[in-house]
Amino acid sequence: MNKYAFGTKTKILAGMGAVIVFLGLLNGLWHVVSAWYDTHTIKFNQVVIVSFNKPFEVIERKPEIKEVVRVIESVDINKLTDIEKYICEKWGVYECQVAVAVARTESGLKEQAFNTFNKNGTLDVGVFQVNSVHFNQPGCSLKELVDAKKNVDCAYEIYKKSGWGAWSAYNSGAFKGALK
């Protein structure tokens, strides 16, 4: 008598389980191979030219880098306010319009602008709404930030260190509405 007699249902279930496991392994293998082909390509070479070469090489793909050209429109300096002219002197021709638009969006270019409604309990001050986390930096004390030009100077130093990421008007894209 056979100790391990399996019925038809058991054999079918075991066969189905084996098929499912096989398909899962096949799927995993497919993903590994696909991921490899995303970053590599196979280059077939001529085997003999003048010397012997490798029959094929595996080469890592490099992303194509395209050059972006930025069109700069000149700013009519006569139509700018004194503080806008100062901002343009600081940031230069390439970033002048963006800098003025960020300041317009942040404070309306008002040196007396204050924001005390930050969720983290910090304070924003002046033309560029410089946050109180920067008060410990040279030229960025509260006393200095209430002066429009010193506020611009401090904002420019922050910009040089971390770009436009310190301003919510830039991050949200709201400054685009103030571009002229």
pLDDT digits (tens, 9 = 90+) for 92-113: 877 888 999 999 999 999 888 8
The whole-model pTM stands at: 0.58
In the predicted model, is pLDDT for residue 155 greater than 80? Answer: yes
Q: What is the pLDDT of residue 73?
A: 61
Q: What is the pLDDT of residue 68?
A: 63
Q: Distance between alpha carbon 93 and the CA centroid of its chain, in Å?
A: 24
Q: What is the pLDDT of residue 48?
A: 61
Q: What is the mean pLDDT of residues 74-93?
A: 82
Structure tokens belonging to residue 18: 């084996």
Q: What is the pLDDT of residue 1?
A: 55
88 contacts: CB under 8 Å, gap ≥ 6: 75, 77, 80, 96, 99, 100
Q: How far apart are CA 32 and CA 170, in angstroms?
A: 40
CA atoms within 13 A on the CB side of 132: 11
Q: How far apart are CA 130 and CA 116, in angstroms?
A: 12
101 touches 112 (CB < 8 A): no
| 77-178: CATH number | 1.10.530.10
Q: What is the pLDDT of residue 103?
A: 92
Domain ranges across the chain: 8-60, 77-178
Q: How confident is the model at residue 152 (pLDDT cuts 50, 70, 90)?
A: very high
Q: Distance between alpha carbon 4 and the CA centroid of its chain, in Å?
A: 63
Q: What is the pLDDT of residue 158?
A: 92
In three-state secondary structure terms, 91 is helix
